Amino acid sequence: MQLRDKLRGVVGFPITPFQADLSLDLAALESNVVEMIKFPFCSLVAAGGTGEIYSMTPSENVEVVRRTVAVTNGKMPVIGGVGFNTPIACQMAKDMAEAGADALLVMPPYYTNAPWEGLLDYYATVGRATDLPLAIYSRDWAAFTPDHVARLADKCPTLHIWKDGQGDARKYQKIMAKLGDRLAWLGGLGDDCISPYFSIGVQGYTSSISNVAPKLSLAMADAGLKQDFTTLNDLVFKYVTPLYALRERKKGYEVSVMKTMMDLIGLKGGPVRTPLENVTAEETEMIKGIVELYKDWF
């Protein structure tokens, strides 16, 4: 429960930089993490969705976690992303525990037509692989009812954190009401959804904007935790909405746009790996407009 109570505010979601030949750029990763930990995030998620877990090998994901842990050096918890299938996720979990991760973020398995009992067994089996606290990312087809979450919490004692990626505030509020303070509740769909998340009482949210404008993501979380929705909505409408309009131009651009923006402000973004696509030259010019809009937050 100690980690659960620490997760209040912004969970930083660093991208994973690749070199021009698409090999891991670990020096760039370390440089980016050095910049991120200058700010008071409540934790970092290494090799998460924004970190392109799905386009790396299991060993690459573990190495990303290892390097992030080394650079962070205890300043804030590091949560490692695991997934793919049951045996791979279990081995990644063990390797990330050895690499020093403080918790694990479990992605849905590859197979998208699993029965509910099988899905619950998947998460419970990954939870038994280590003693680390587990965070489940409810996204895409892995949409849970309040009863499912309650059953999973009983079945998986290491489940401490819930990261919602569905964006259904009505259902999420019902889940939170049923489980109470058994879990830490995070908004996980995007910076553009934080107003409804904070309105139902989440204690933090996962931010890709944390890569480029940490002060902005922290200011939005502060307003949300204070229930100051006038300030929060003003920030979202002015800064988040135009950025997300670019990210929504193509699937996967939630990573591609952020990487390009990082390159434009002097950080290390680099290209994306397939199946994602890099932004076009025309879109890069559009992102330069976002950089200008954000200038007071750098």
Can you tell me which residue has the tokens 């970190």? 51
* Residue 208 neighbours by CB distance under 10 Å: 25
How far, in Å, CA of 289 to CA of 88, rounded? Answer: 42
User: How far does Cα 143 stand from its chain's mean position?
Assistant: 17
pLDDT at 196: 98
Distance, in Å, from the CA atom of 93 to the CA atom of 108, rounded to the nearest integer, reads 14
Number of domains in the chain: 1
User: For residue 86, what pLDDT is reported?
Assistant: 98
| Structural domain contains residue 239 | no
List the CATH number of the domain containing 42: 3.20.20.70
Determine the Cα–Cα distance for residues 210 and 15; give it in Å rounded to an integer: 10
Assess if residue 259 is contained within a domain.
no
Considering the domain boundaries, does residue 77 fall inside one? yes
90-102 pLDDT, tens digit each: 999 999 999 999 9
Residue 62 included in any domain: yes
Residues 6+ apart with CB under 8 A from 117: none
Rg for the chain, CA atoms, rounded: 18
Render pLDDT for 135-183 as a digit per residue (tens, 0 to 9): 999 999 999 999 999 999 999 999 999 999 999 999 999 999 999 999 9
Q: How far apart, in whole angstroms, are the C-alpha atoms of residue 135 and residue 126?
A: 11
Domain that holds residue 163: 2-228
The reply to whether 117 falls in a domain is yes
Residue-wise pLDDT tens digits, 228-264: 999 999 999 999 999 999 999 999 999 999 999 999 9
Three-state DSSP state, 62: helix
Answer yes or no: is 205 within a domain: yes
Is 64 inside any structural domain?
Answer: yes
Peptide bond into 14 cis (omega under 30): no
Residue 149 lies in a domain: yes
Angle between helices 58-72 and 26-36 (to 10 degrees): 40
> How many alpha carbons lie under 13 Å from residue 168 in its C-beta half-sphere?
14
Mean pLDDT to the nearest integer, 111-115:
92
Give the pLDDT of residue 2: 85
Q: What is the percent of the chain where pLDDT is above 90?
A: 98
